Structure 1
């Protein structure tokens, strides 16, 4: 029997819908820090203020980012916001725009992002509870091509034709009418001069329009081939070595020479939560096998990780990396994992590449659980009068999805996904920091078109935030990268040292590397994630926490529908 403690009446319910996010434009092939969801959601503490920030960046740059700030705790009077690009820093940024209060403790505004690149939005909060500053990473990249509506095109074409006719007529008239003195009869050749003038005018306008069209086509081609974001290509493969399967992830730089849009500063990858790369493997089509791995860097282009005891099959791969500029990417590929039959002793003796690697084999998506020690994948309980779900964890404890607002969730609505852990006797049991945070989550739509690596602070990277905060503090107008070899070696040495530390010291060192991250859990057996499902569909959620030094993974399914209008 699992004991569930409910809130007292009147206590705030953080799972209540906070805001509707409209106009979700999803591009399944685009990936920058996630796949299929372009918004940024942040929930964090800043002094006495607890803020929930939602940013919808434009999918065409230049464009406006829609910003919404909820002050969940604290008394704020004025909130200003401004975009700051990594390459220009604070010196090249505009002044703050004041957000408009639109409700109780809610502020909104639109900010222009004028060029592509790694950027952030800096918020200045001022009020009775003091002044605070928060920086939120935002990737300012063009992800869409917009076609002009057919009606608008016809209307503009008709207006343009009218203007050309009028301009040609005016040129012809001015060429002819000037030769006639007041009171004199027009000469016989007046009409011919008017026609000649109109012909010259038509030729001049035609040349101008041809040059303008050439410029327009060139600009459109540059946007399509250079500015339009494309994720860095990778090639994943699995080989068998010494009786163990090895996953290799290689950055594909074959197009770097001809296409500058593809280029990345691969020597300047930053560790995020103490790892250079977070690689997630999910078996298709049932989403029944999952692994969260942290490959080692062999050289600038190649990363490698030993595979755990996963079943063979076709897997989707999502690899998260963060560059020194604060730009975060999710790189995607599919990989065939061969079936490897080994003895139980050999499987037990196999060591993961990283002690924080974890994996889980569960039921295929949509199958009801009816066996002991098998995750419950559907709503199977009521928690505080609301639908809930539970999952058995590998150590015999249970994970409970708390405060689920309904059996079927709505796309575009912001929820706080809250999960609690109870021991085998059903009592609340504390969880330990996992990679420097209360927990991690991965969410995947059944067809793979939506993926997100979630943290309690939201949908962005801590390493990206740290990089952009340090850049803002830099007084230089332009940023100069350090020596690539020295930078890469210093990162590798830091990571090697991190792996040798005891867990407590490692978490202390991780916390020191993420000083801007402030999001303590309110209850020591719970972890929360703010998220808005970008589109309708069937989703699987993997929630990862650490207990007694062991990484534990709970798996849950949920259906998301379009909102009722």
Structure 2
């Protein structure tokens, strides 16, 4: 047991930027000392590159905000100096600026605020990866080519003149030997310049090929549904073909749990987004995860599987699968994990087109009352028929009431006040939200531990020992009584749902759950809200319309 705890101490250095698809921005809400802030970071798609940082100071009167990057491998000892963020004219409490991210992989942005309430610090985990290539505009390319040819001609001419014309006196002309010497040296200069250009071009092509090789590409994974004693068993297998070029040997042995689970799996039926499941598959080997399916209706499903590396690198595995009809002669469906849940709702743009039963809810909208499975209800705070603006950070506030219309007391679910999955109608955007934003609280706390460590390079444990310790830890959590497990997870993440001393907004114990987020692009979205009351996980479904920003 001591070995397990020792290795788990290493895992505390792991931090995870919340997984996503099509939503690269990081939105995080919390407290920097006495300052309540909302941070929005748009990382670059090319490394090295600049991340755009926006800080909204909601209280405290901060007058000075600084930011710097900190990389997981080098820690605080290898971090550069702070850059000043500029106050936005006419926007009280809003600061903007850029931070250079020079290294790829797990990193963070450390903020320091100063003002009327003293000094406060805040850490925002960020994944820095190259996901794009920059193409040179055609006009610029032709202009640079013409200038290059001109410089080549001038250089060759100057070299030729330096070995011939320089020996002439006034009124003299070149002799035949001198002309031959001139042309010979010009030829040598031309060949030398062409060889230099060829070498430079080859070096550039080699560098570009290496860049393309390590250009970030999500891991390939393939889902399937097999029959296991009359039950539908979902299997998710990670493709390790050419794996070393993507992540390196042993990568999958260094996965760590988030909220006590090695994988968070979301299934959403397409095209109507009318069936949803949040499952937690078990790891059978380093590449395969499996979970029994609940009573989901048959159809084609979008698959999103979140996994987390010890270094903080977080990925979402995606696929599309066909789920067959469940055999009618089975009355009891097996559960792989006690927190596995599902819900059925009305199809997108076809309200109330589904028969009601205990696992069916009617989809809601901003400003409306939406009934949950236990007859409690949720009000998404906002105006009726509200339309949201893409790219604008906002807070999605959900107030929960008992069937008697009293504020409901929520229980922690997987160590937090609530969870939400956001999916765009075409599946191109997916994000798993928490009340602090797109990043779990464990991420910030783990980064603080890494910053406090003076080691320039983080050393990882033996892969087999590491993986075995993680498997034992996850199994231990699974065997705990529910209340004890939730308490353990909250303590592990540094949470205190009942205290004002928490470093994060939106985590206070009560009836309202808030999720900071910025919709990345225009379109129609569906939000699956998950909370817990009286020992039961409840899922509410809501639709949102998002338009392009008004310029």
- Considering the TM-score relative to the shorter chain, is it more than 0.5? yes
TM-score (norm: length of structure 2): 0.90
1:246 is paired with a residue whose SS is: strand
- The equivalent residue for 1:252 is 239
CA distance in 2, matches of 1:39, 1:203: 50
CA distance in 2, matches of 1:143, 1:487: 30
1:270 is paired with a residue whose SS is: coil
- The equivalent residue for 1:424 is 403
- The equivalent residue for 1:125 is 113
- The equivalent residue for 2:275 is 289
CA distance in 2, matches of 1:372, 1:508: 34
2:107 is paired with a residue whose SS is: strand
Q: Is the 8 A contact 1:173 1:197 kept in 2?
A: no
Deviation at 1:404, TM superposition (A): 4.4
Tell me whether 1:367 sits opposite 2:331 in the alignment. Answer: no
CA distance in 2, matches of 1:94, 1:405: 47
- The equivalent residue for 2:378 is 399
**Distance 1:504-1:32 versus aligned 2 partners, 3 A rule:** closer
- The equivalent residue for 2:168 is 180
Q: Is the 8 A contact 1:377 1:389 kept in 2?
A: no
Candidates 464, 468, 487, aligned match of 2:447: 468
Tell me whether 1:88 sits opposite 2:71 in the alignment. Answer: no
Deviation at 1:261, TM superposition (A): 4.4
Q: Is the 8 A contact 1:38 1:56 kept in 2?
A: yes
Deviation at 1:357, TM superposition (A): 1.0
Q: Is the 8 A contact 2:18 2:438 kept in 1?
A: no
- Which deviates more, 128-137 or 506-515? 128-137
Deviation at 1:510, TM superposition (A): 0.8
Tell me whether 1:542 sits opposite 2:542 in the alignment. Answer: no
Deviation at 1:486, TM superposition (A): 2.3
1:511 is paired with a residue whose SS is: helix
- Which deviates more, 241-250 or 436-445? 241-250
Candidates 328, 331, 334, aligned match of 1:351: 334
**Distance 1:214-1:231 versus aligned 2 partners, 3 A rule:** same
Q: Is the 8 A contact 2:230 2:327 kept in 1?
A: no
CA distance in 1, matches of 2:321, 2:421: 19
Q: Is the 8 A contact 1:268 1:484 kept in 2?
A: yes
- The equivalent residue for 2:98 is 110
Candidates 256, 259, 269, aligned match of 1:273: 259
Tell me whether 1:163 sits opposite 2:151 in the alignment. Answer: yes
CA distance in 2, matches of 1:553, 1:331: 23
Tell me whether 1:500 sits opposite 2:483 in the alignment. Answer: no
Deviation at 1:133, TM superposition (A): 2.0
1:156 is paired with a residue whose SS is: helix
- The equivalent residue for 1:9 is none
TM-score (norm: length of structure 1): 0.88
CA distance in 1, matches of 2:337, 2:269: 21
Tell me whether 1:513 sits opposite 2:492 in the alignment. Answer: yes
Q: Is the 8 A contact 1:44 1:51 kept in 2?
A: yes
- The equivalent residue for 2:498 is none
- The equivalent residue for 1:564 is 550
1:60 is paired with a residue whose SS is: coil
- Which deviates more, 38-47 or 543-552? 38-47
CA distance in 1, matches of 2:295, 2:338: 15
CA distance in 2, matches of 1:467, 1:172: 64
- The equivalent residue for 1:20 is none
**Distance 1:500-1:351 versus aligned 2 partners, 3 A rule:** same
1:377 is paired with a residue whose SS is: coil
Q: Is the 8 A contact 2:299 2:323 kept in 1?
A: yes
Structure 2 residue runs without a partner (length 5+) = 1-16, 496-502
CA RMSD of aligned residues (A): 2.1
1:235 is paired with a residue whose SS is: strand
CA distance in 2, matches of 1:525, 1:137: 28
CA distance in 2, matches of 1:260, 1:273: 26
**Distance 1:59-1:405 versus aligned 2 partners, 3 A rule:** farther
Deviation at 1:463, TM superposition (A): 4.0
Deviation at 1:430, TM superposition (A): 1.8
1:436 is paired with a residue whose SS is: coil
- The equivalent residue for 1:147 is 135
Q: Is the 8 A contact 1:375 1:555 kept in 2?
A: yes
Task: Please list the CA deviations of residues 67-95 of structure 1 after superposition, one character each: whole Å capped at 9, or x if unmatched.
Answer: 11111122323222111111111111112
CA distance in 1, matches of 2:277, 2:389: 28
**Distance 1:529-1:327 versus aligned 2 partners, 3 A rule:** same
CA distance in 2, matches of 1:353, 1:46: 40
Corresponding pairs, count: 523
Deviation at 1:256, TM superposition (A): 2.2
CA distance in 2, matches of 1:74, 1:355: 43
Q: Is the 8 A contact 1:389 1:400 kept in 2?
A: yes
- The equivalent residue for 1:98 is 84
CA distance in 2, matches of 1:482, 1:523: 38
Tell me whether 1:33 sits opposite 2:19 in the alignment. Answer: yes
2:367 is paired with a residue whose SS is: strand
- The equivalent residue for 2:7 is none
